[in-house]
Structure 1
Amino acid sequence: MSKKNMLIYAHYYAPDAASTGQILVDLAEGMRDRFNITVICVVPSYTGTIAPEYKTKRFYEEMRNGVRVIRVRVPEFSKANKMSRVRNIVSYFFGAMRATFKAGKQDVVYSMSQPPILGGLLGVWGKWMKHAKFVYNIQDFNPEQTLAVGYVKHKLVTDLMMAFDKFSCRQSDLIITVGRDLVETLNKRFRGQRVPRVTMINNWIDEKQIYPLDAANERVQEFRARYGLDGKFVIMYSGNIGLYYDLENLVKVIGKFPNARTADGREVAFAFVGAGAVLDELKRYVAEHDLTNVTFIPYQPKEDLVYSLNAGDVHWCVNARGIKGVSVPSKAYGIMAAGKPILGVLETGSEARYLIDGTECGRCCEPGDYKAVANEIHWYLDHAGSEELVDMGKHGREYLVNHLTRDISVNEYARAIEALL
């Protein structure tokens, strides 16, 4: 039997470092033996800048590890400037619509909920243009996410956003969400009536690329030394330093630990690895309050992520209040893969908290309860170097290997999609 054709709309795709982009790389490459995959995405630009070789044409085509990739040129942008981000996203949307005609015959169209609202509408467009089945992967619910953090406050705008995304949901042949709480949100949207067909499949991590390393590992020590973390107890945040994590307030809690030491006598360092819309705000606060125990580290190349994650003793996994049922922080999977304990600031009933509490791979408190956050930091400092922390990391790694690997989740995606055809 000949393979069916599958078109994937991917706002970001390798080599961009976006977590959703990496998910789509794993998905596309993991299903290439079962489908002929075409990906439509932006030119590499997750940081906001675009290399000169991607500035001369409107579209670029390439084969990447057996996957056909059509890249759309977009304008450069600043993550701190809302209007420049909007221009960039809208440019991708219309460019991807045009690129659809370059994709040829397709049997199934897969689109993710990124960029917000437009990702779903691209899937509908692809379904109509290609007379194909439409699979809508909801990683984040919008406008619920933008409402939760006040990013968009005009009711007319948010009502239109909701109407458009519900339209995309209704047009889908299958919705795949990434959390049990997101399934609940979908049911609430449609009030339990005529709910679109939905299944839940967890996100994943490649456990062969991210895995526990001994603290004495040369590359881990090299990373720690490079950023002044050598010999310190490191509480690390790794990922998008963006709008949905309440980091602006969490750094204020960190400010209450200026000269903290662990029970075993180590200095405490708080490391932020990554970039995003609130990075400059965090840097300003740290500079204004002379927080010498806070370090900012740029995004790490994919091949070095195993070393940076292992350089942390404890990792933050956080969301702002109101994100339950809206989004699942994918960084939880990387932390579990590295075998590190988690300091979770997550709402009860959210998917990431289900995973952390259920596997006992960390400790959690509610977003907005900053006294509880401080207490959890104290707890980790008091237990630094203990077998209890080692066991937390082992629990997370063991659960991930058995339930949350790339092969397991990608096979679930492939089976769900094949069932439509």
Structure 2
Amino acid sequence: MGSGNSSALSSQRKVLILVENLPSPFDRRVWQEATTLAANGYHVSIVCPTGKGYESHYECVEGIHIYRYDLPHEAEGAMGYLLEYSAAIWHSFRLARKVRREQGFDVIHACNPPDLLFLVGVWFKMVAGTKFVFDHHDINPELYEAKFGRRDVFWRLMVWLERMTFKAADVSIATNESYRKIAIERGGMDPERVHVVRSGPKLDRLRLQPPKDEHRHGRRFLVGYVGVMGKQEGIDYLLHAVRHIVHDLGRTDVHFGLVGGGTSLGEMRQLAQDLGVANYVTFTGRVPDQELLDVLNTADVCVNPDVANAMNDKSTMNKIMEYMALGKPIVQFDLVEGRFSANDASLYAEPNNARDMAAKIVELLDDPGRRERMGEFGRWRVVHQLEWKYEVPKLLAAYEMAFTVDGGSAR
């Protein structure tokens, strides 16, 4: 491993990125940020969990030093989250100290969840004078309320942890304007220290390719989905829409390709069986990028069934822009940030209405001209407005501020 004592290394600005919910380089946003910083002269290290295909506890990829730790399991329930987050904080501290010795860092860049990573940032601010950049990926109070339907003591704890994170941050990075508003109004951040850096796709990864008809499984149309299989992703709504399309509308000419893994994958496979649509749905689980691209390039329509709630309404979903980058028309529930991203590249179903989602899917399948126009608009919007290259100057500006501001960020 490299040492933080060499003259070449000591002349660089050095960054440690903390991320808990996905391994690097699998986490696309984190990896885009890391490689962008490295390409602009920063020395970058990452501390993250292991995962399928990313089992090594240390490796250097594209000049980025990745230190990984094992988590107990994917969390389900309060005790599961307690174990996972406790282990994550312990390993983040442990490996941050190791990175400090071996690579060095001037900035800790923490990507939530959980909203406990600020503890690592605060510690190194106190003992080493490092800067703390908070990269706001998830709005956890809204997530808790969406999952459990209540604002209790745990919800108040999450609001407090969120505010402490913003209070500790020298600079915060928001993925959209909705998150920026939360940072300012609920987090007490100085507006000048909140930078919007959207999760734009990189077109060198999302390549237009010929369709592969085997993914249609002998049917005329393919509807594609890529993303996590969790409770907030609305896969149950999508499967009820499939049931309506197949059994109520009698459309046996449509197949559905669902790409991604997650804690609800087994449950959703069982639901497809229970609804009598398993033969019309392929669950691939987590797959390499090439298979993901094969499915999406073959799809006639792509879907985003994210549950309409306060969290998803304010969140920007990577899959929307990936669909657009590949020129695919979209059907999704009508959510604020989803509509901002897709604009005229999408039809918008009534929130949490599986039958209306089914109707919108069929409407697009039966109108090839409209599909083509919507896909072309989405592709144009990514190429000219939303691609990652447009976000690079914003990320670098946030870092310039992190190195020049003094003190914390609270009003």
**TM-score bracket for the superposition, by shorter chain length:** 0.7 to 0.9
Query: Map of 1:174-323 to 2, 5 A cutoff?
Result: 174-190=171-187, 197-215=193-211, 221=212, 224-225=213-214, 227=215, 229-258=217-246, 267-291=253-277, 292-322=279-309, 323=311
Residue 378 of structure 1 corresponds to 362
Q: Distance in 2 between matches of 1:352 and 1:389?
A: 18
| C-alpha RMSD of matched pairs (Å) | 2.6
Segments of structure 2 that go 5 or more residues without pairing to the other structure are 1-7, 404-411
Q: CA deviation at 1:418?
A: 1.8
Q: CA deviation at 1:82?
A: 6.1
Residue among 28, 43, 50 paired with 2:50: 43
Query: Map of 1:379-418 to 2, 5 A cutoff?
Result: 379-383=363-367, 386-418=368-400
Preserved contact between residue 112 and residue 139 of structure 1 (Cα < 8 Å) = yes
Residue 138 of structure 2 corresponds to 140
Query: Map of 1:25-174 to 2, 5 A cutoff?
Result: 25-33=31-39, 34-45=41-52, 60-75=57-72, 77-78=73-74, 83-84=79-80, 86-104=82-100, 105-114=104-113, 116-150=114-148, 153=150, 155-174=152-171
Preserved contact between residue 144 and residue 326 of structure 1 (Cα < 8 Å) = no
Q: Distance in 2 between matches of 1:329 and 1:8?
A: 21
Q: CA deviation at 1:68?
A: 1.3
Residue 23 of structure 2 corresponds to 13
Task: Flag the 1:127–1:381 CA change in 2: closer, same or farther, 3 A.
Answer: same
Preserved contact between residue 80 and residue 278 of structure 1 (Cα < 8 Å) = no
Q: CA deviation at 1:201?
A: 1.6
Tell me which amino acid in the other structure corresponds to 2:334. Answer: L
Preserved contact between residue 120 and residue 165 of structure 1 (Cα < 8 Å) = no
For residues 153-194 of structure 1, what are the alpha-carbon distances to aligned partners after superposition, in whole Å with 9 as ceiling and x for unaligned?
Answer: 57111211211111111111111111122223334425x786
TM-score (norm 1): 0.83
Q: Distance in 2 between matches of 1:129 and 1:366?
A: 52
Preserved contact between residue 320 and residue 346 of structure 1 (Cα < 8 Å) = no
Residue 57 of structure 1 corresponds to none
**What fraction of aligned residue pairs are identical, expressed as a percent?**
22
Q: Distance in 2 between matches of 1:374 and 1:125?
A: 51
Q: Distance in 2 between matches of 1:193 and 1:39?
A: 26
Q: CA deviation at 1:126?
A: 4.1
Q: CA deviation at 1:372?
A: 2.7
SS of the equivalent of 1:285 reads helix
Preserved contact between residue 356 and residue 363 of structure 1 (Cα < 8 Å) = no
Preserved contact between residue 16 and residue 107 of structure 2 (Cα < 8 Å) = yes
Q: CA deviation at 1:45?
A: 4.7
Residue 419 of structure 1 corresponds to 401
Tell me which amino acid in the other structure corresponds to 1:237. Answer: Y
Q: Distance in 1 between matches of 2:229 and 2:362?
A: 23
Tell me which amino acid in the other structure corresponds to 1:361. Answer: A
For residues 21-58 of structure 1, what are the alpha-carbon distances to aligned partners after superposition, in whole Å with 9 as ceiling and x for unaligned?
Answer: 12111211121132111111112359xxx85xx5xxxx
Residue among 332, 339, 342 paired with 1:353: 339
Preserved contact between residue 182 and residue 326 of structure 1 (Cα < 8 Å) = yes
Residue 218 of structure 1 corresponds to none
For residues 231-284 of structure 1, what are the alpha-carbon distances to aligned partners after superposition, in whole Å with 9 as ceiling and x for unaligned?
Answer: 43111211101121222233222211125577xxx8111221111122222211
Task: Flag the 1:125–1:399 CA change in 2: closer, same or farther, 3 A.
Answer: farther
TM-score (norm 2): 0.85
Task: Flag the 1:354–1:144 CA change in 2: closer, same or farther, 3 A.
Answer: same
Preserved contact between residue 364 and residue 370 of structure 2 (Cα < 8 Å) = no
Q: Distance in 2 between matches of 1:66 and 1:327?
A: 31
Q: CA deviation at 1:346?
A: 3.4
Task: Flag the 1:328–1:86 CA change in 2: closer, same or farther, 3 A.
Answer: farther
Task: Flag the 1:248–1:204 CA change in 2: closer, same or farther, 3 A.
Answer: same
Q: CA deviation at 1:334?
A: 1.0
For residues 285-330 of structure 1, what are the alpha-carbon distances to aligned partners after superposition, in whole Å with 9 as ceiling and x for unaligned?
Answer: 2112221322212222024332221121111123212224542211
Task: Flag the 1:402–1:194 CA change in 2: closer, same or farther, 3 A.
Answer: closer
User: How many pairs were matched up?
Assistant: 386
Segments of structure 1 that go 5 or more residues without pairing to the other structure are 55-59, 216-220
Preserved contact between residue 216 and residue 222 of structure 2 (Cα < 8 Å) = no
Preserved contact between residue 361 and residue 395 of structure 1 (Cα < 8 Å) = yes
Tell me which amino acid in the other structure corresponds to 2:301. Answer: V
